[in-house]
Chain A
Amino acid sequence: MIFPMRTRQLADATGAGSAGLENVIEVGGLRQKYGDFEAVRGVSFTVPRGEVFALLGTNGAGKTTTMEVLEGYTPATDGTVRVLGLDPIRQQRQLRPRMGIMLQEGGFLGDLTVAETVDLWKGMSEDAGRPVTLSGSTELPGGFTLMGTRIRRVDRATMGALELVGLEKKARVKVKQLSGGQKRRLDLALAVLGSPEVLFLDEPTTGMDPEARRTTWKVVENLRDAGTTVLLTTHYLEEAERLADRLAIMHEGRIHTHGTVEEVVATSGDMITFRLPGTSWTFGDLPALDGVPPVLTYAGGGTEVGYTLTGADTATRAHAALRPLMTWADAHGETLERLAVRRGTLEDVFMRIVGEAGL
């Protein structure tokens, strides 16, 4: 049962009730305590249908805890959580067939083969009324016995799931013989098997080689294009930049910044850096640009100068700041060595948040 009133209020309260879009994930004021330790300290965000939302953060930031509350593993200590308008704990039965989960690690029956594992998951998905629509390019014959083990046929649907993640050559290998990255890929195949409406990926590409990582990204992008809503955690900034429509940076149980990649990166400001010969320069010698004082570091007999411009006009602030800087250089007869202007990166924002919060 969906409570439309409540849903609407929550969406408004978190300020993300984007026009016409249904919010598939809604988190309001979530708190999660383990004993005395508060892993999540008041987190709110919404994810509209068909969007990829990334939770970024260091280990222990509270990403996985937030995920586990949404997945229905743990009840929230405080706050509201809705997935597809349903309560992840009390309405688990309605919700479960509609969502896919990729956990951070393991949890396979090691003595089953890869194909048997997919078959088991496929069967359970079908039992729950979610037929698997994948179809591979081939099937593997069975019905014979090899070294005392009965070899079963591997059907097209199972092969389709394995082809999706590039494991088709491992169909008859026991799961315990897979490498870490291969297990992650199997995990992904299981998570997407039942065409979930909402997909939770907890550090999906950790331990994968670059090629597998790209395959995974492609799978996620294809699902998003097909309308799946995805919540993913990662500590690879590159992954978030590539996949996420919007992202939030978490640190010590709180969301410090969130928005589209563009919006978040814009908060990092533009950087102007250069070098002046000699180490006699002090803070007071240099001009403030757009109200921002310089940061000086002394290295190799010179002075490295840096400005971080955070002015509101993100398009013109770097240009506007360069003019007074040039005027200053002309007036002092100095050359700004290795002058560089660059836009901030997600990493700058990330490091600022992690650093500010006291690491």
Chain B
Amino acid sequence: MRTDVLHAVRLARVDLALVGRNTTVLFNVLLMPLLLAAVYTSFPTGDIAGIDGELFVLTGVPGLMLAFAVFINLVNSFTARREELVLKRLRGGQPSAAAVMAGSGLSALALFLFQVLLLGVWVHRSEGVLPANVPMIVVAAALGVAVFGLIAAAFSGLTPNAEMAQITVLPVLLVMMVAAPIAFPAEVLPGPLAVISGLLPVTPIVEMMRTGFLGADHFSDGGEKLTMIEQWVAALPSIGILLAWVAIGAVLARWLFRWEPRHS
């Protein structure tokens, strides 16, 4: 266990160094969600769910970051590394399978948290709001990386090569951008869609993030201020949904993930 943790941290550090050396990844992973956030917030909106529209949208942006910095990034990296036999080599070396996966997850978590930090600065400068519940933001980020890391592992198994990754990620990306309550609350979706949106893993993450930033109830349409304890109680159903998704993701990853290219 201790060895696994040491290996995962070591691999995550190398991962981050490599992100810094790859302009394409740097752009896709770090810049893209921030650019999208700028686009999303450039439309004039009135109040949404009882708060300023721009603030509402900005606090939903972690949903986009999750799609780019975690999901797309990991599908790309798992696929490319499998095809280049890096995964095979790592698995034949000292680290266990769990350590290799955890290393990728940790580096994605670091990137994601770094982006949320940048977002926090943005929110503070433009709206004068400081995050109300940082632990909830961190828990949401960790659960988000767990769920989407596992789903990314599964999707990489469906992706024959790194070029195709641009296409295989699209369905998930579209669902994340359209159905998640980033620019509007889930409740405005027509009945069944609202229910489906609520069950998707991205929705509880966005709602936890928003609640964490604003200290108000954004799990329902209410938006009223909550105490710290009330925030956690209100978050319980979301955490439950995410834990269920971790289990689903683990099953999918176990089924679809591949360590080596298919034999020709």
A-side interface residues toward B, CB under 8 Å?
A: 34, 71-73, 92-93, 96-97, 101, 103, 105-112, 116, 120-121, 123-125, 127-130, 190, 194
Contact = CB atoms under 8 A, between A and B. Distances in A.
Contact of A105 (B7, B14, B85): B85
Contacts of B14: 109, 112, 116, 120
A101 B90 CA distance: 10
Interface of B (DSSP majority class): helix
A252 B213 CA distance: 65
A190 B95 CA distance: 14
B93 interface: yes
Contacts of B18: 109, 111-112
B10 A106 contact: no
A34 B94 contact: no
Contacts of A112: 14, 17-18
A107 B84 contact: yes
Contacts of B260: 73
Given A93-B96, A109-B14, A124-B95, 13 more contacts: A34-B263, A92-B96, A101-B92, A105-B85, A106-B85, A108-B89, A120-B11, A121-B94, A124-B10, A125-B94, A127-B3, A127-B6, A127-B7
B37 to A, nearest CB: 28
A92 B91 CA distance: 10
Contacts of B92: 71-73, 101, 103
Q: Which of A71, A116, A124 has the most CB of B within 10 A?
A: A124
Contacts of A123: 10
Contacts of A120: 10-11, 14
Contacts of B91: 73
Interface in B68-96: 84-96
Q: Which of B18, B88, B90, B92 has the most CB of A within 10 A?
A: B92
A194 to B, nearest CB: 7
A111 B22 contact: yes
Interface residues of B, number: 25
Contact of B85 (A103, A124, A125): A103
Contacts of A71: 92
Interface of B: 3, 6-7, 10-11, 14, 17-18, 21-22, 84-96, 260, 263
Contacts of A73: 88, 91-92, 260
B25 to A, nearest CB: 10
Contact of B7 (A107, A108, A116, A124): A124
Contact of B89 (A103, A111, A194): A103
Q: Which of B10, B21, B89, B95 has the most CB of A within 10 A?
A: B89
Chain A to chain B: the 5 pairs with minimum beta-carbon distance, closest first: A107-B89, A107-B85, A127-B6, A124-B94, A101-B92
A121 B93 contact: yes
25 contacts: A93-B96, A96-B94, A96-B96, A101-B92, A106-B85, A106-B89, A107-B85, A107-B88, A107-B89, A108-B84, A108-B86, A109-B14, A109-B18, A109-B86, A111-B18, A111-B21, A112-B17, A120-B10, A120-B11, A121-B93, A121-B94, A124-B94, A125-B94, A127-B10, A130-B94
A101 B96 contact: no
A72 B92 CA distance: 8
Contact of A128 (B22, B88, B94): B94
A121 B7 CA distance: 10
Contacts of B90: 107
A225 to B, nearest CB: 25
B84 A106 contact: yes
Contact of B3 (A107, A109, A129, A194): A129
B3 A128 contact: yes
A105 B89 CA distance: 9
Contacts of B22: 111
Nearest to A72: B92
B6 A101 contact: no
Nearest to B2: A127
A124 B84 contact: no
Contacts of B21: 111
B262 to A, nearest CB: 11
Contacts of B6: 127
Nearest to B90: A107
Nearest to A99: B92
Nearest to B96: A93
Given A109-B18, A127-B10, A128-B3, A103 B94 contact: no
Given A124-B7, A127-B7, A129-B3, A97 B88 contact: no
A121 B90 CA distance: 9
A59 to B, nearest CB: 13
